[in-house]
């Protein structure tokens, strides 16, 4: 049960809100991730929470789940103030449950095992009565009209069934604990990005059923269409502030996009006019097919930075990996300097040899080896240049690494320092040094400035611009529109595996990109 206790004036008549957040603030090292955010959710309401990456959505959710402690502000449930920070692992008792994008299911376990996992009331007993639990699960699934066998393995379920299982589990848990008449809050954090249309509808009908039972739902999404479709009201966050809350049916898409993106100051564009119209150069991609991407063709000219972006689940971020063979494509080819590669059989070693390099997004797992030193990390792709005639010439290798460290302005004591000692920005510069020393023709980037401070970011932009000026073709997949505005000559916007918009030259602005992402082509997707 809840233990409302902070010194707030009790005895006041309960507010109509199920959840009321006021003035919530969280500062991370001088950066206000949340700046006096207010949010009110009524009982039985489906409430959308919208905002771009970095708008504060995730910080807000993390405060609600007790992961972060807020610096200021208050939260109350059914008018009763909650002591902050939220107690970890106690939210179910307060009638609060979360379903995150990864769903928190254990794929190798059965539906039933997953359903009762973490249900301490059951697991603490000395003997789990599996037959009774299975019967209970069947009743529960019947209530929600879910066709689920309690003994099926979760890994054999379709994505939508998994999502529904996670939601039913959360709903069951809070209804079991929150003794007071279904007064529960379910937070759904982007449960839909990888689901096909029909399946999203199945999820929505489940959400509507729950809300009809009196459960309040906070639905976090990037997707305006979905928010318009399923929510009663919505709140938009931008740069850590509440921009506004509204009745969904009174708003149009452009109005919502305007709220999400805001009127932004123009970023200083550094993309120069160095694109060469040389038809031989550059890279031509034809009919590639990956997990989400299908039958996609485009080209990148020499000296061009081509941006790829879209909402989460649109598939743009798999393209860099398909083009260097680190993820095997189902089909498609890449032509570079007149040489054509079948992507289904391309290996990273071949692509390296042909002047293609990949700067992956997951720096700490795929970019550098943290416990090895800078010399070793930088030298890995060029060892064969230094092991002539018979052994590695450590002196030359070291001076090569020293040159690169200073050329890429890596702040480090020297090549013998382990990569783990460096800041994210400097690690990324090490990764760039490692790859760009190969003087590549095609550079594939995935989120090149993720988690990197502003200063290092600008330096990385300079490096990329210099690369273009030297005639390389650059492909940059990113979810940061500002970055594309700053450096891209041209941007392809993706929606469900296909290009939905192409922006070029002066049209490459943060707000144009955002509009293209959020206002997907109507028609087939129209469903309001």
Residues near another protein (CB under 8 A): 324, 326, 347-353, 358, 360, 362, 365-369, 371-372, 376-377, 379-381, 383-384, 387, 391-392, 394, 414, 416, 434
State which residue, 271 or 368, has the beta carbon closest to another protein: 368
End-to-end Cα, the chain, rounded Å: 40
Min dist CB 318 to another protein, Å, is 15
* Rounded distance between C-alpha atoms, residue 458 and residue 452, angstroms: 10
Name which of 526, 428, 519 is nearest 224 in CA terms: 519
Distance, CA of 201 to CA of 144 (rounded, Å): 14
What minimum distance in Å lies between the beta carbon of 166 and another protein? 27
Least distance between another protein and beta carbon 434 (Å): 8
Are 69 and 75 in contact by the 8 Å Cβ rule? The answer is no
Strand order in the sheet with 241-247: 96-99, 185-189, 216-220, 46-50, 233-238, 241-247
* CA triple 241-246-249, angle to 5 deg: 145
Comparison of 133 and 376: residue with beta carbon closer to another protein:
376
Is there a contact between 34 and 25 (Cβ–Cβ < 8 Å)?
yes
What minimum distance in Å lies between the beta carbon of 362 and another protein?
A: 8
Cis check: omega of the bond before 110, within 30 degrees of 0: no
| Among 279, 302, 309, CA closest to 448 | 309
Closest CB 403 distance from another protein, rounded Å: 18
Q: Between 93 and 369, whose beta carbon lies closer to another protein?
A: 369
User: Among residues 274 and 366, whose Cβ is nearest to another protein?
Assistant: 366
Q: Based on CB atoms, which residue is closest to another protein, 310 or 440? A: 440
With vertex at residue 418, the alpha carbon angle to CA 429 and CA 367, rounded to the nearest 5 degrees, is 45
For another protein, give the closer residue by CB, 249 or 365: 365
Structure letter (DSSP) for residue 470:
T
Task: Give the contacts of 327 (CB within 8 A, at least 6 positions apart).
Answer: 290, 318, 321
Number of other CB atoms surrounding residue 12 within 10 Å: 8
**Minimum CB–partner distance for residue 365 and another protein (Å):** 6
- Cβ 349 to another protein shortest distance, Å: 3
* Minimum separation from the CB atom of position 414 to another protein (A): 7
Could you give the CA distance from residue 209 to residue 12 in angstroms, rounded to a whole number? 32
Please say which residue, 8 or 353, places its beta carbon nearer to another protein. 353
342 versus 362: smaller Cβ distance to another protein: 362
Work out the angle at residue 43's Cα, subtended by the Cα atoms of residues 35 and 49, and round it to the nearest 5 degrees.
35
């Amino acid at each position: 049960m809840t233990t409302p206790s902070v010194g707030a004036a009790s005895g006041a008549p309960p507010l109509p809100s199920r959840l009321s957040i006021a003035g919530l603030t969280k500062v991370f090292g001088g950066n206000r991730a949340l700046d006096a955010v207010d949010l009110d959710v009524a009982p039985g309401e489906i409430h959308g929470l919208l905002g771009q990456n970095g708008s504060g959505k995730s910080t807000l959710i993390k405060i609600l789940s007790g992961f972060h402690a807020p610096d200021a502000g208050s939260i109350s449930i059914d008018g009763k103030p909650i002591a902050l920070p939220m107690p970890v692992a106690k939210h179910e008792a307060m009638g609060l449950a979360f379903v995150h994008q990864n769903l928190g299911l254990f794929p190798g376990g059965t539906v039933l095992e997953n359903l009762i996992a973490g249900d301490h009331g059951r697991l603490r007993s000395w003997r789990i009565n599996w037959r009774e639990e299975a019967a209970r699960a069947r009743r529960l699934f019947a209530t929600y009209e879910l066709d689920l066998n309690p003994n099926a393995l979760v890994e054999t379920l379709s994505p939508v069934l998994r999502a529904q299982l996670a939601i039913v589990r959360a709903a069951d848990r809070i209804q079991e604990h929150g003794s007071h008449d279904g007064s529960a809050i379910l937070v759904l954090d982007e449960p839909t990005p990888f689901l096909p249309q029909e399946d999203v509808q199945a999820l929505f009908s489940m959400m509507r059923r729950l809300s009809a039972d009196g459960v309040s739902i906070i639905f976090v999404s990037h997707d305006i269409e979905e928010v318009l479709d399923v929510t009663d009201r919505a709140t938009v966050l931008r740069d850590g502030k509440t921009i506004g809350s509204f009745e969904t049916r009174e708003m149009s898409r452009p109005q919502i996009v305007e709220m999400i993106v805001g009127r932004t100051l123009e970023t200083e564009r550094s993309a120069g006019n160095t694109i060469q119209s040389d038809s031989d150069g550059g890279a031509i991609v034809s009919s590639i097919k990956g997990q989400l991407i299908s039958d996609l063709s485009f080209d990148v000219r020499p000296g061009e930075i081509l941006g790829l972006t879209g909402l989460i689940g649109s598939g743009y971020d798999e393209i860099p990996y398909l083009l260097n063979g680190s993820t095997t494509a189902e089909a498609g080819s890449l032509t570079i300097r007149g040489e054509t590669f079948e992507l289904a059989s391309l290996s990273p070693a071949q692509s390296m040899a042909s002047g293609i390099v990949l700067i992956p997004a997951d720096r700490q797992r795929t970019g550098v080896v943290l416990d090895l030193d800078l010399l070793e990390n930088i030298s890995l792709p060029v060892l064969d240049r230094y092991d002539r005639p018979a052994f590695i010439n450590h002196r030359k290798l070291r001076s090569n690494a020293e040159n690169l460290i200073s050329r890429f302005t890596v702040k480090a004591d020297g090549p013998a320092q382990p990569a783990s000692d460096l800041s994210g920005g400097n690690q990324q510069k090490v990764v760039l040094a490692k790859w760009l020393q190969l003087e590549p023709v095609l550079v594939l980037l995935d989120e090149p400035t993720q988690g990197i401070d502003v200063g290092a970011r600008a330096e990385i932009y300079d490096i990329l611009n210099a690369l273009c000026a030297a005639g390389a073709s650059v492909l940059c997949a990113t979810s940061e529109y500002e970055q594309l505005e700053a450096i891209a000559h041209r941007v392809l916007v993706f929606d469900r595996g296909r290009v939905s918009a192409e922006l070029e030259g002066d049209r490459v602005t943060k707000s144009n990109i955002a509009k293209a992402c959020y206002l997907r082509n109507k028609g087939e997707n129209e469903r309001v």
